């Protein structure tokens, strides 16, 4: 088990690369089945979900669109509580089958605040895919339709997730020691 340092904190390997990739293939298989004959629009939430969105999308073998939106509610290791939209959504969602792609759902606050804005545009359907879910940390209950891994309420970095800007480039996911 590898121990790494990001800024001042030590982290140990939690999810190795092959396990992440295997699980992503399984999620894509489920999505391919559920959306057969449809043309879903994936809305990936930046910054954290860029790697997950890219790897998931490679295994989506039905017609599908992808766009990115930027929201932020985290500063350092603690949710700031304020959800800020920095890059607006340009696509019109009316009548579309939308799949939100998140890196991690922690308290649920980010999506809880964001989903009503999407629903306002009257998509035909809306589902959520999140690579990680800290279900123990839930403060705003949400139905997550495609969950990669349910993880304990401990801070993680890697595979797109950062600690104060660093760690996103790691291929594995590491947990705070």
What residues are annotated to the active site? 106
User: Going by C-beta distance under 8 Å and a sequence separation of 6 or more, which residues neighbour residue 173?
Assistant: 13, 14, 15, 20, 132, 156, 157, 158, 159, 161
Decide if residue 156 touches ligand IMP (CB under 6 A).
Answer: yes
Q: What is the Cα–Cα distance from 58 to 156, expressed in whole angstroms?
A: 24
Show the binding pattern over residues 109-148: x = contacts ligand IMP (CB under 6 A), - = does not. Answer: xx--------------------------------------
Answer for which of 55, 97, 106, 172 binds ligand IMP (CB under 6 A) is: 106
Tokens of 38: 């449809």
| Binders in 5-44 for ligand IMP, by CB under 6 A | none
Decide if residue 172 touches ligand IMP (CB under 6 A).
Answer: no
Q: Residue 138, class by beta-carbon neighbours within 10 Å (0-12 exposed, 13-18 middle, 19+ buried)? A: middle
Decide if residue 74 touches ligand IMP (CB under 6 A).
Answer: yes
Report in angstroms how near the CB of residue 82 gets to ligand IMP at its nearest: 10
Q: What is the Cα–Cα distance from 75 to 70, expressed in whole angstroms?
A: 15
Q: What angle do CA 98, 129, 92 make, to 5 degrees?
A: 20
> Count of residues binding ligand IMP (CB under 6 A)?
17
Report in angstroms how near the CB of residue 108 gets to ligand IMP at its nearest: 5
Decide if residue 103 touches ligand IMP (CB under 6 A).
Answer: yes
Decide if residue 155 touches ligand IMP (CB under 6 A).
Answer: yes
Alpha carbon distance, N-terminus to C-terminus of the chain: 12
Interface ranges with ligand IMP (CB under 6 A): 48, 73-74, 79, 102-110, 155-157, 161
């Amino acid at each position: 088990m590898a121990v790494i340092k990001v800024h001042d904190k030590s982290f140990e390997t939690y999810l190795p690369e092959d396990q992440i990739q295997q699980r992503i293939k399984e999620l894509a298989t489920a999505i391919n089945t559920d959306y057969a004959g449809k043309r879903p629009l994936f809305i990936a939430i930046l910054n954290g979900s860029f790697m997950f969105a890219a790897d998931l999308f490679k295994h989506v073998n039905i017609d599908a669109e992808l766009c990115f939106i930027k929201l932020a509610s985290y500063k350092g290791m603690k949710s700031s509580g304020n959800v800020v939209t920095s890059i607006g959504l340009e696509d019109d969602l009316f009548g579309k089958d939308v799949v939100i792609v998140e890196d991690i759902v922690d308290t649920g606050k980010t999506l809880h605040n964001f989903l009503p804005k999407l629903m306002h545009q009257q998509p035909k359907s809306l589902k959520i895919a999140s690579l990680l879910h800290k279900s123990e940390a839930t403060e705003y209950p949400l139905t997550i339709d495609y969950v990669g891994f349910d993880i304990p309420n401990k801070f993680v970095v890697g595979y797109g997730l950062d600690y104060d800007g660093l760690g996103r480039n790691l291929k594995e996911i590491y947990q705070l020691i």
